Each structure stands twice: as C-alpha cells, then as structure tokens.
Amino acid sequence: MKKTIVFFLLTLFLGIVLQKNNIVHGQDLVKEVYVKEHIPNKDPVPYPYVREADVMWAKTVWRILDLREKMNFPLYFPTQPIGNRMSLIDVLLYAIENENLTAYSATDDLNEFKQIISLADVNSTLDKGFDTVQVRNLDTQLLDDTVIARAAKTDEVKQIMIKEKWFFDRKHSTMQVQIVGVCPIRMYYRDEEVGLEDATIQKKKTFWVYYPEVRDVLSSHEIYNRNNDAQRISFDDFFMQRRFSSYIFAESNVYNNRSIMNYAPGRESLLESEKIKEYLFNMEHDLWEY
C-alpha cells in the first residue's frame, strides 16, 4: 500500500515538473483552457458534382457586401490580427503570401481571372511599400534620408465584391448557388493634398481570388461569434451558410454585363437590385410549376 502511494506521488511530481519545463522552454505552450482543434483542422464541405445536362437554368450575378453593416462586421474586424483571429482581407493576404493562392487582376471590370498578378502587385493595390523620410542625425544635426516600411492599408477595405452562379439542378430539383470569386474593394480619400472639404471617396477594386481555390484556407480560420466564443464557425461556413448582408449590383446581360448603376442611377438602382433578387426567388417556383 505504501509503495503504491509513493509511486502515485512520484508520478504526480514528475508530471508537474515536466509541465513546468515545457512552459519554461515554450514547448506545448497552451494559453487557453482547452486546445482549439476543430476549426484549424477543418476541411471544407466539397461541392456536389453537377452535370451540364442537369442544369436547366443559370444566371451569373455580382454582389456587394458592405463591411460597415452590422451583419458583416465579422469580415471586417479585427483591423489588426489578434492572435489567430484575422479579418477576411488579412486571411486572403496570408493565403497569397504563404499558401500560394493565385491572385488575379481586378482592372478588367467584371472580366475576372484573366491576368495573374504577383504579391508585389497585390501589396501595391493596398498601398504597401516604403517611404523615404528625413530624420535629424543627432551627431551631425543634419537631416538624413531614412527608408521606413509602410504597412498595407487593410482597414480601408470597406466592401467585398463576390461573383456567384445561380442554377437550377433538375437532378435534385433545387435552386443552387455557388460563389465563384471574391474581390476586396478599398475605399479611401482621393488625394492627401486637397482639403477635407474637397476630398472625395474613391473606390478601388484590389484583386480577385477564385473562391473554390481559397476555401481550404477560409475553412481553417475561425470567424468571431458575438454570442458564444466556444461555438465559432469558419469563414467558409459564413459564406456557404450565407450569413452576410449584400445587394446585387450587376447580372449577366447582353450589354457587356453592365452594372445596374449604368442604366438605373440613384434610388432606381436599389429598386432594380430588389427586382433581380425577386426574379431569382421566383424562378425556382416557376420551374416547379412549369
């Protein structure tokens, strides 16, 4: 009996010593109550196979997600990474830099995925680079040119453009939608040289990414849940479950896929957007009826 107690106490003591040693040397360091394993090791749910012969009807639409809306806050915050938590733009930049995600030029209006751009081009669209400033030398009291790094202005990404395909699958008799591409939109003042009263907000499309290619990265990064820290979901879940708020600003058409603003400016564009949304909603019922 005494040998058993001594063996138990010795095992407990060794366990405590080893745990302290791991913490001191930074091995297996855990700063949470439990280890988060679900989201980091999660794989995206694969798309079902769709035959062309099963697609009775299809329509391509482009949407704008305004990150200043409350429902879309999880995509915008945090503006600076907090541990493993990142905003959508930071996750995309991480994937381009570390996961070999392909970025495409966004200068061809709605004709996406035509021209591949480099990481330097992506950083340029977010105004990341180097500045030369003059700093006084304490020894000579002269101004010396000093080069400092300028961080990417990710906090200026206030909107997200997504391209999606709506189609009716007659095999399953359901209307389906799949996101094809994602494009962050940067919003900033026109020029720092003009006064604030003369400055105008500029919108600049930064780059496109092919959504099926980035799903592996999005599914392994968690998104904030304002109600429960223990039940967070991934960015991919957020998009696939369509938890965002958005409005349609263009649909595929014969006029070079022109946007709604080209023919229905102002308040009329919002009404036209709702009209397209209602058309997509009614199409499924019409196919069932006829």
In sequence order, what DSSP letters do the residues of 157-217 get, joined into one string? EEEEEEEEEEEEETTTTEEEEEEEEEEEEEEEES-TTS-TTT--EEEEE-EEEEHHHHHHH
Please indicate, yes or no, if residue 103 is contained in any of the structural domains. yes
Name the pLDDT band for 142 (thresholds 50, 70, 90).
confident
d(CA 64, CA 257): 16
pLDDT at residue 199 is higher than 90: no
- Same domain for 75 and 27, yes or no, is no
pLDDT at residue 63 is higher than 70: yes
- Same domain for 5 and 53, yes or no, is no
pLDDT at residue 118 is higher than 70: yes
Name the pLDDT band for 26 (thresholds 50, 70, 90).
very low
pLDDT at residue 36 is higher than 70: yes
pLDDT at residue 264 is higher than 60: yes
The pair of structure tokens assigned to 251 is 């649909």
- Same domain for 245 and 212, yes or no, is yes
- Same domain for 94 and 3, yes or no, is no
d(CA 216, CA 95): 10
pLDDT score of 18: 45
d(CA 235, CA 222): 6
- Same domain for 160 and 94, yes or no, is yes
Report the predicted TM-score, pTM, of the whole model to 2 decimal places.
0.83
List, for residues 151-163, the tens digit of each pLDDT value: 899 999 999 999 9
The closest of 166, 169, 179 to 277, measured between CA atoms, is 166
- Same domain for 208 and 258, yes or no, is yes
pLDDT at residue 59 is higher than 80: yes
Could you list the residue range(s) of the whole structural domain that residue 79 is in? 41-113+154-289
Q: What percent of the chain has pLDDT over 70?
A: 83
Q: CB neighbours (10 Å) of residue 212?
A: 14
- Same domain for 47 and 21, yes or no, is no
**How big, in percent rounded to 5, are the helix, strand and coil portions of the chain?**
30, 30, 40
- Same domain for 70 and 161, yes or no, is yes
Please indicate, yes or no, if residue 147 is contained in any of the structural domains. no
Angle of helix 211-218 versus helix 88-98 axis, rounded to 10 = 100
pLDDT at residue 286 is higher than 70: yes
- Same domain for 169 and 266, yes or no, is yes
- Can you tell me which residue has the tokens 């180097």? 130
- Same domain for 261 and 183, yes or no, is yes
Name the pLDDT band for 272 (thresholds 50, 70, 90).
very high
Number of domains forming the structure of the chain: 2
- Same domain for 83 and 227, yes or no, is yes
Q: Which helix (H) or strand (E) holds 120?
A: helix 119-125
- Same domain for 6 and 91, yes or no, is no
